[in-house]
Structure 1
Amino acid sequence: MKRQRVRPNMARILIACALLAFIGGFAIFFSQGARRLAGGVAARLTLGTQPIDILVIANNARGVAANDPLGLGTAAGQADVILLARIDPAAHRIYAITIPRDTLFAQPGWNDPVPKIKTLFFMGDQDSPPKGPQELAKAVAQLTGLPVDGYIAANFAGFERAIDLVGGITVDVKKRIYDPRHSGANFQPGLQHMNGKEALAFVRVRQNIAGNSYRINDFQRMQAEVQVLGILRNKLLNPTHAATLIPTFVKKMHGDIATDLPQARLIQIGIAMAGAPVYQVPLGSIDDSMTLAPASVPGINAEGYLDGADYDVLDPAEIARRLAPFGAQNSSLGIDFPPHDSVHVTLYGSAHMALHFEHLGFLVTRAGAATGAQRVLYPAGAAAAGWEAARALGGGDVTVEAGTGSTIVVEE
């Protein structure tokens, strides 16, 4: 049988089709999804398959240089940002677990009159050598039920320097921001290119007085923290230049960061996770925010006395549920919360609120209509039960104080 010859024109067409198919396949492979797939393979080969949990801390001390990340300076040197970054090389994803800085957290070994989780950084930093990150890491591990494999801490000056080193960042400001008294932020809506000082002001806003509902509490502020850190991270870890920019960035920022992770390990993680998406996992909500009056609370600190202040009283059961997919089995604030079905509530509120409390398992007696007070009164020795009732009442503007009755009194 004679072999059939392919005509020259037909051969050129077949070669062209094959070339186009190859180029098309090459382009598809290096599309965003495929780059993520390739990045995931590279991350697993470089880092293995086990998650890595790194605590990111922003020290709010004023009057300290960038190269003194643990310096206390003024403003107490507390943890202004507390974020547990879960690096998942197997899925090639990063989860930003954000923790409210005003979270009430028992500190029986410390004489801290306002026992918020952020103050543990300050308490530990008074040791020599400073142990603020280590103390905060222990608390975060207890709160989340997850191990803390390392920490990275920087102060405000270091954050500004980091933004400036990458040439600034472009942020989508959703609504008008004006906060002259606290952060100094003054931004119009829309895309804004920010230098380090401007980015810091944007991140710190939680008392916006521009007349809208944007950036008016700590929970919205935590969203902005993840937004800005994500933009910085995307710029820094862009796959097209991550291999050269990351070592340069780490080298220049080396003195501005306190960490227990080797520099080579940070570079390895950064390059391996380039292009990985970031997902925020917020702990708590505005319903956890409340004003606590001064009270005797055994075990809350060394003195057993709580100073009045605004706190976030998180629900350990809800934290454990939210973090269960990451392997968390428990969560603790160091506080014993009674089960709802053992808490008797006398409610002055709507029928709808009574049903809400009953749905949550409280034993409810509706005694009258709403008073507008947004207040919870608890019997002596029952502060934790009062805090739970305040969380159920919700809204973020509940005052909780000791009363004289034998049940929890809730005034809607």
Structure 2
Amino acid sequence: MAYQGKSYSKQVKEQPKPKKKLRIGRFLLILTAFLVVMSLTGLAGYGFFLERKVVERANATTPLPEDGPVNVLLIGVDRDPDSTEELRKLGMNTDTLIVAHLDPTQKQATLLSIPRDTRVQLPTGMEKINAAYAVGGMDRLKQTVKELTGLGIDRYVMIDFKGFAQAIDAVGGVEFEVDKPLFDPEGTVQLQPGKQVLNGKQALTAVRFRHEQMGDIARVERQQRFVEAYLSKIQSTSVVDWMNSLRKMSASMRTDMSISEMGRLATTLQGEEASFVTHTVPGTFLEVYGISYWKADPEKLREIVSQMKN
């Protein structure tokens, strides 16, 4: 199985690093990586087999294509997914958005990260995409993502970050190269540059930190690096700890996928020929009335989506 690192365009001074490839012998490792990347990976159906009660089957009446590509929207929130409808009415925003494009024919899974500050058209006007859920719920969020990317959403997975932290602790932490001083808003976690083992709370700080010049774009890059670090960790983790990590993550999820659908989608990554690729919506920073946005580059985004589809 091949892992290809980030691919995105940012029209600023910093230059993106070259793509990386990571050979993995077991497809379950990549499925677990789906759990970690932005804390949004409900595609690891095997984790749900352990605790069926965590899956909430919603009104997903349209069947998934038998052998064609499937798009799953991965959503990260900082609240309990079970209370999302109540919180939505109070104006809850999504923290992380990723479209997972799974193509069983090509044996490829592609993740397209959408910066939370991406400027989009909502019924309330031009807003950041992280407000779409608060404006109109899951239907509005899925429609907004489709309008931005051209990718229709077949299923969704929502997870809160508490599950992410618990999953990291379950494997004894993850060794990670911190690139710069990082801290959480409450000041309870402060990380200095250098390679170190991060516990769940520290890892959460690392993947959510965005108080820097590159903002969301730097955060997405850091999250993608964390996936690689987590992959390395679980290769040396006992099966018991690894399965416990899956349980911790799955307990904080909500999805409209059935167990059988998750199991079938998991086979997308089975075998050495399978590949796992990450992209970020390309664009530039834009400031409007003192508010910072990420303005997507439509032409470059179309190129990426075309690559994903083909």
The normalised TM-score by structure 1 is 0.51
SS in 1 for 2:129: coil
Instruction: Call closer, same or farther: CA 1:65–1:268 in 2, change over 3 Å.
Output: same
Q: Does 1:146 align with 2:151?
A: yes
What amino acid does structure 2 have at the position aligned with 1:121? Y
Q: 1:199 to 1:100 in 2, by over 3 A?
A: same
Separation (CA, whole Å) in 2 of partners of 1:233 and 1:133: 31
192, 197, 221: which is aligned to 1:223?
A: 221
* 2:256 corresponds to which of 256, 260, 278: 260
Structure 2 match to 1:120: 132
Deviation, structure 1 residue 260 = 0.9
Show structure 2 runs of 5+ residues with no match: 1-21, 30-64
Taking a change above 3 Å as real, the CA distance of residues 255 and 123 of structure 1, as seen in their structure-2 partners, is farther
Question: Deviation digits for residues 267-289 of structure 1, max 9, x if unmatched?
Answer: 4534652675432211123xx21
- 3-state SS of the aligned residue for 2:195? strand
Q: Distance in 2 between matches of 1:325 and 1:258?
A: 29
Identical-pair percentage: 25
- Local SS of the residue matching 2:296: coil
Stretches of structure 1 that go unaligned for 5 or more consecutive residues are 1-31, 40-46, 125-131, 209-214, 294-307, 329-412
Q: How far has the Cα of 1:225 moved from its partner? A: 2.2
Q: Deviations over 1:327-380 (max 9, x none)?
A: 39xxxxxxxxxxxxxxxxxxxxxxxxxxxxxxxxxxxxxxxxxxxxxxxxxxxx
The residue that corresponds to 2:276 in the other structure is 278
The answer (yes or no) to whether the contact 1:48–1:90 under 8 Å persists in 2 is: no
Given that residues 48 and 89 in structure 1 are in contact (C-alpha distance below 8 angstroms), is that contact kept between their aligned partners in structure 2?
A: no
Query: Which residue number in structure 2 is paired with residue 309 of structure 1?
Result: 291
Matched, 1:164 2:169: yes
State whether structure 2 residue 100 is matched by structure 1 residue 85.
Answer: yes
Give deviations 1:293-348, integer Å, cap 9, x for gaps: 2xxxxxxxxxxxxxx622222222221122212239xxxxxxxxxxxxxxxxxxxx
Residues 252, 188 of structure 1: CA spacing in aligned structure 2 closer, same or farther, 3 A cutoff? closer
Question: For residue 78 of structure 1, what is the amino acid of its counterpart?
Answer: N
Using a 3 Å threshold, how does the CA distance of structure 1 residues 103 and 65 change in structure 2: closer, same or farther? Answer: closer
Structure 2 residue 71 is matched with structure 1 residue 53: yes
TM-score of the aligned structures, taking structure 2 as reference length: 0.66
CA contact (8 A) 1:100 1:284 kept: no
Residue identity opposite 1:219 in structure 2: I
* CA shift in 2, pair 1:253/1:36, >3 Å: closer
Aligned length in residues: 251
Task: Quote the RMSD (CA, aligned, Å).
Answer: 3.8
Amino acid at match of 1:283: V
- Using the TM superposition, give the Cα deviation of residue 219 of structure 1 relative to its aligned residue in structure 2, in angstroms: 0.6
Aligned to 1:292: 288
Q: Deviations over 1:145-199 (max 9, x none)?
A: 12222111112223222323343322222x3314364776522333222222111
Task: Decide whether the 8 Å contact of 2:171 with 2:237 is kept in 1.
Answer: no
Alignment of 1:13-412 (within 5 A): 35=25, 50-60=68-78, 64-65=79-80, 68=83, 72=87, 76-108=91-123, 111=124, 115-124=127-136, 132-173=137-178, 175-179=179-183, 181=185, 185-208=189-212, 216-232=214-230, 245=242, 252-270=248-266, 273=269, 276-285=274-283, 288-293=284-289, 309-327=291-309
Query: 8 Å contact 2:166–2:245 — kept in the other structure?
Result: no
User: Any idea what SS the aligned residue of 2:128 has?
Assistant: coil
**Does the CA contact (< 8 Å) of 1:120 and 1:136 recur in 2?**
yes
Take 2:263 and 2:134, find their aligned partners in 1: how far apart are those partners? 29
For the Cα contact (< 8 Å) 1:97–1:282, is it kept in 2?
A: yes
Offset from partner CA, 1:23-52 (integer Å, 9 cap, x none): xxxxxxxxx969489x9xxxxxxx975332
Task: Tell me by how many angstroms 1:94 deviates.
Answer: 2.5
Q: Deviations over 1:190-221 (max 9, x none)?
A: 3222222111100111225xxxxxx7421111
1:384 corresponds in structure 2 to: none
Q: Which has the higher contact order (CA 8 A, sep 6+)?
A: 2
Deviation at residue 116 of structure 1 after TM alignment? 1.4
- C-alpha distance in 2, partners of 1:157/1:73? 18
Write the distance in 2 (CA, Å) between the matches of 1:277 and 1:240: 22
Task: Call closer, same or farther: CA 1:318–1:65 in 2, change over 3 Å.
Answer: closer
Question: Partner letter of residue 175 of structure 2?
Answer: T
Letter in 1 for 2:68: Q
User: CA offsets per residue over residues 105-159 of structure 1, 9 Å max, x none?
Assistant: 1113xx36x62111011223xxxxxxx3332122112211122221111122232
Instruction: Letter of the 1:292 partner, please give it.
Output: V
